Amino acid sequence: MKKSKMWGGRFAAGPADIMERINASIEFDQRLFKQDIACSKAHVKMLLDQCIISGDDGSKILNGLDQILVEIETGKLQFQVELEDIHLNIESRLKELIGDAAGRLHTARSRNDQVATDFRLWVRDTVDQLDLQLRDLQAALIAQGESHFDTLLPGLTHLQPAQPITFGHHMLAYVEMLGRDRSRLSDCRKRLNECPLGSAALAGTSFPVDRNATALLLGFDRPMLNSLDAVSARDFAAEFLSVAAITAVNLSRFAEEIVLWASPQFGFVELSDSFSTGSSIMPQKRNPDAAELARGKTGRILGALQALLVVIKGLPLAYAKDLQEDKEPVFDAADSLTLVIAALTGMLGDMKINKDAMVAALEEGFPTATDLADWLVRELDLPFRDAHHVTGVLVRSAEIKGCGLADLSLSEMQKVEKRINDSVFSVLSFEASAASRTSFGGTAPQLVCEALAAAKERYL
């Protein structure tokens, strides 16, 4: 057993090997290196301004931190497990570079407020990245919508044919979903953007620190108000994961539709070779694996949220080592969500739309039945429930005959309701059905064009 380089003063011997392994977090928290160095530089600048450390020591520390950043980015610095985490690895290297002045860096702070600050910075950076990615995915959806604003396909409920809609309208549904996801990310960012630095271990510090200054240097809106809360709060990470989970579920719904649409049974879309795979045994297969994996990775993200909530649910104030388990679920979820958004954006960009298959699918399931019922209400003044019944009888007649509603003769219709006249056929085409849906937010092609333009203005 080795004596610890950082906290060995209290201990006569170092940790057992298994303790060293379970205690170390450097394998995953090394991802915080940029945030940790930025946090340290802001802390040092504040210490200098407050005359807590000398100008000479401060300059050495700042120059040393800049050098360490380059060493990490170029892969020259090898992290050591025995130094536990990213903070001690950087501080140890700083001592090698500048000597005893490195020991001044940790004045008036603890690893507790340090890691809380680093983690908030990392999540904030990730939120900004994900927002840009979701914007790009919205742009891809809008581009497909613009190309097919009047392309008709069956709108489904219960996965059964319901009414004709436009493909552009369908794309806009996901644009709006992603807009809400981006809004949730924005809300999450606002709440996490408070700075723990200067709270030290849990009670604050006796040094005359300026927490407003460090918060400003790091781009936070304000310092956190309570030192106990500052070092122990991880609800910002839980909120991020909850937003990630909701976003992943929305993306999974889109991925599921792509899987269905790409199947021969639908045939609505064709995915490019770049976003499909084959089979090891069946030469004819073209599998929509990008969409399937996007759907599957949702489980990982949902699991990450559950894992973090379980970690923090029973922790007393303030800091406990359990909180070391906060980062891996967040890192994994962020990685998964980043990959899913990128895959779906790429897949959508070169996805081909099969208009003929969509129109052919409209021939099934009597999707203009509601238009017939509405016509009976408007033109014959039938109560809707009576119109619904009449339409149902006509649907059954068409089903028995093996034709569409528009293929029934006028005389066949009049056997059910004698007042039906020729004008009924004007509402039974798929184009007329879609064009008639002019209520706000409806699927009429003209409305879809206007909605696409508004979405570009609002989101892009």
| Catalytic residue set | 158, 279
The answer to whether residues 275 and 335 touch, using CB atoms and an 8 Å cutoff, is no
Q: Where are the alpha helices (DSSP H) in 154-297?
A: 167-192, 211-217, 227-232, 235-261, 289-296
392 vs 191: CA distance, rounded Å: 53
Residue 101 structure tokens = 């002045």
* Three-class secondary structure of residue 280 per DSSP: coil
Q: Which amino acid, residue 420?
A: I
384 vs 189: CA distance, rounded Å: 48
Task: Using DSSP bridges, classify how beta strands 160-166 and 152-157 pair: parallel, antiparallel or unpaired.
Answer: antiparallel
Strand runs labelled E in 339-449: 352-353
* Three-class secondary structure of residue 165 per DSSP: strand
DSSP per-residue codes, 293-350? HHHHTHHHHHHHHHHHHHHHTTPPSS--GGGGGGHHHHHHHHHHHHHHHHHHHHHHHT
Rounded to the nearest 10 degrees, the angle between the axes of helix 111-147 and helix 445-459 is: 150
